[in-house]
Amino acid sequence: MREFGCTPTNYYNEGQLEASRMYCPKCGRETAEDAVICPSCGHSIGQTLPLYAPRKTNGKAVASLVLGLVWCLGIGSIIALVLGYGAKREIEDSRGTQEGSGLATAGIVLGWIGVVCMIIYGITMCSALTTL
């Protein structure tokens, strides 16, 4: 099979071609089955990260979102921010083996909203006390 790897469409039947297809995990474009780097976006694909590998959700990202919702007079929000940024860094470092980036972003956004609410709440309380 001299043509192997050169023109695979001539060699594989449809079923085998389906099984051997690879998609870039970053941009979703179809790539060569033996490609190491995506030709579209340059994302490294590599054999160590098969697409069917179970991606686990980052625990800090989940905790960040929950604490962002809890608020708890701003204490939950501050922890949500710390965990949210930590989770984002861990997800980036995991090179696609962890997910939950959206959750971490939601936790960070809720965290900031909570902090702003805490400041407004503080100012309101202070002004309420001074006008008494």
Nearer to Zn ion, 26 or 55 (CB): 26
Nearer to Zn ion, 38 or 106 (CB): 38
Q: How far is the CB of 109 from Zn ion (least distance, A)?
A: 27
Q: How far is the CB of 103 from Zn ion (least distance, A)?
A: 23
CA distance 36 to 45: 5
Q: Which residues pair with 56 in a beta bridge?
A: 98
Strands (E) located in the chain: 22-23, 30-31, 56-57, 98-99
According to CB under 5 A, which one of 5, 11, 27, 124 is a site residue for Zn ion?
27
Nearer to Zn ion, 20 or 40 (CB): 40
According to CB under 5 A, which one of 38, 65, 81, 103 is a site residue for Zn ion?
38
CA distance 132 to 127: 9
CB 71 within 8 A of CB 114: yes
Which residues contact Zn ion (rule: CB under 5 A)?
24, 26-27, 38, 40-41, 43
